[in-house]
Amino acid sequence: MQFTLAEIWAHTGLFARSVIFTLGIMSIASLVVMAERMIVFRKTRSDSRNFAAKMGAILAKGDLNTAANTNLGKDVGHLGRVINSGLTAYRISPNNKDVAVESVARALERQAQREVQSMKRGLGLLATVGSTAPFVGLLGTTMGIVNAFQLMAAAGSGGLGTISAGIAEALITTAFGLLVAIPAVMAYNFLQGWVDARSVDISESSNEFLDVVARHLGGGAHSSNAA
């Protein structure tokens, strides 16, 4: 037997092949999540930037009532959905500064939590693949080595040459497990860092918007909107 992937696969047992197929499914699932999250993150970042540019121009004028009644469409990104929830709360809040500010703050916090949770969708699968794939591969290796020693005992002969083929067959599952786990862990850390950064952006934007609401209500401008 030559130690090539084709030869090793040809001599691989049913259990080892089952492990490799399992790892293959885990790899495909993690790759799908990576691609889907990257597409979603890129779009929501672009939409959020566009929303911030348009809504920021309105809020810079201090015209909160106009901002509350402005519809910038559905594609506003994570930031737009959070700020829109605050604008909705402001629009329906009573003509009382403390109550209105508290209502807007709660609306911003609730939507921010929803957005962060939505951005984390699929990351749990990457974490699971990254943490379990090496152990799945190790399981195949362990059983392969057991089979190799069983064959050596049945043949009644020993030596490295007798079991080298079986050990090579066994170790290939560990290598495959690592090949599946490493990209999943790297992708998870990258995407989780991206989510954490966007969470900070949402928090800062929410606080800035809440300051605008507080200043606006302090000037008594909400009365005309409530009317």
For residue range 6-58, what is the model confidence (pLDDT) as tens digits? 666 666 778 888 888 999 999 999 999 999 999 999 999 999 999 998 888 88
Structural domain contains residue 227: no
| C-alpha–C-alpha distance, residues 73 and 46, integer Å | 14
In a domain, 126, yes or no: yes
Calculate ∠ Cα 40-42-44, nearest 5°: 65
21 CB neighbour count, 10 Å cutoff: 10
DSSP class of 12: -
Give me the mean pLDDT over the 193-219 stretch. Answer: 88
Q: What is the structure's pLDDT at 216? A: 79
Q: Which two tokens stand for residue 38?
A: 């990257």
Domain ranges, residue 209: 5-220
Task: Tell me what the pLDDT averaged over the chain comes to.
Answer: 84
pLDDT value for 160: 60
112 part of a folded domain = yes
Q: Answer whether residue 181 shows pLDDT above 80.
A: yes
Note the pLDDT of residue 224: 42
69-73, 80-84, 203-207: the lowest-pLDDT one = 69-73
Longest dimension (CA), the chain: 96
Domains contained in the chain, number: 1
Helices 14-60 and 97-119 pack at an angle, to 10 degrees, of: 150
The percentage of the chain sitting over the pLDDT mark of 90, rounded to a whole number, equals: 47
Neighbours of 164 (CB within 10 A): 13
In a domain, 158, yes or no: yes
Residue 104 in any domain: the answer is: yes
Read off the pLDDT of residues 86-133 as tens digits, 9 standing for 90 and up: 998 888 877 777 888 899 999 999 999 999 999 999 999 999 999 999
DSSP string, 131-161: HHHHHHHHHHHHHHHHHHHHHHHHHT--SHH
Q: For residue 226, tell me if it sits in a domain.
A: no
* Residue with more model confidence, 65 or 163: 65
**CB-based contact 59:209 (threshold 8 Å):** yes
With beta carbons less than 8 A apart as the criterion, state whether 93 and 99 touch: yes
Q: How confident is the model at residue 161 (pLDDT cuts 50, 70, 90)?
A: low
Measured in degrees and rounded to the nearest 5, phi and psi for residue 20 equal: -65, -40
Cα–Cα distances in angstroms (integers) from residue 115 to residues 60, 90, 136, 208, in the given order: 25, 20, 33, 18
